[in-house]
Amino acid sequence: MVNHPRFSQAYIWGQDLLEKVVGDVRTEQNRRAYGATLIVGAGTGLDVGQLAQNVSETVMLEPDDTMRGYLNDKFPHLRTISSPAERMDIADEEFDTVVTSLVLCSVDRVDQVLREIHRVLKPTGQYLFLEHVKHDAPVPSLLQNVVNPLWKRVGGGCHLNRDIHLNLVQSPFKVVEYSLVKPNFLLPIVAGRALK
């Protein structure tokens, strides 16, 4: 399980600031969700209110105790699962859509999480991702590598320098959309869609 109470509490307090940075992209991404939808690493539930009207069911996966407590208070009507993303306590082919928003940076194993997302999606399912990634340019990439050890300690295990594109290409998914949506110096953010 995940336990970063100080970081999680700070995240809860700072979620409005985060939404100023990524809110518009999150809205665009989540409007494409449909059917039974799983939010992996639901955090404070910022994705919930952005989901499209044709979402028939919303389930949240959140292994962090502090975040899960917040979610249970805010969304008592929604199902919340406490297992880690690498070993989801979910049956095969249960969801039409899976969403991650700034989650793959902090999981233990990105490859295993992607396999789990693939497993819980129905054969015609879609995976919508919004993630910060390793910078392509040499200087920002070098800075990410230098800062990363300290960043992980204060950021609840978040990695600045993960090559999410490579992880997706090597996963069982067919990536149909991948684009840089926020070309920040230290935290470039990509969004996209992959199919089972």
Number of domains the chain is built from? 1
Question: Taken in order 107, 37, 71, 20, is the CA torsion positive or negative?
Answer: positive
Q: Mean of the per-residue pLDDT values for the chain? A: 93
Residue 13 confidence (pLDDT) = 78
Is the pTM higher than 0.85? The answer reads yes
> For the domain that residue 20 is a member of, what is the CATH number?
3.40.50.150
Summarize the confidence of residues 1-11 as an average pLDDT.
72
Residue 182 confidence (pLDDT) = 92
State how beta strands 174-182 and 189-195 pair: antiparallel
Q: Are 190 and 180 in contact (CB under 8 A)?
A: yes
Residue 11 confidence (pLDDT) = 77
Q: Are 44 and 80 in contact (CB under 8 A)?
A: no
Residue 105 confidence (pLDDT) = 95
Place of tokens 């340019």: 137
Residue 116 parent element (H or E): helix 110-120
Strand partners of residue 97: 37, 126
- Coil/strand/helix, residue 50: helix
Question: Is 76 exposed, middle or buried (CB count within 10 Å of its CB: 0-12, 13-18, 19+)?
Answer: exposed
Percent of the chain with pLDDT over 90: 82
Q: Are 110 and 158 in contact (CB under 8 A)?
A: no
- Domain range for 32 is 5-195
Q: Are 82 and 62 in contact (CB under 8 A)?
A: yes
Question: Is 117 exposed, middle or buried (CB count within 10 Å of its CB: 0-12, 13-18, 19+)?
Answer: buried
Within 121-178, residue ranges assigned H as helices are: 138-154, 164-169
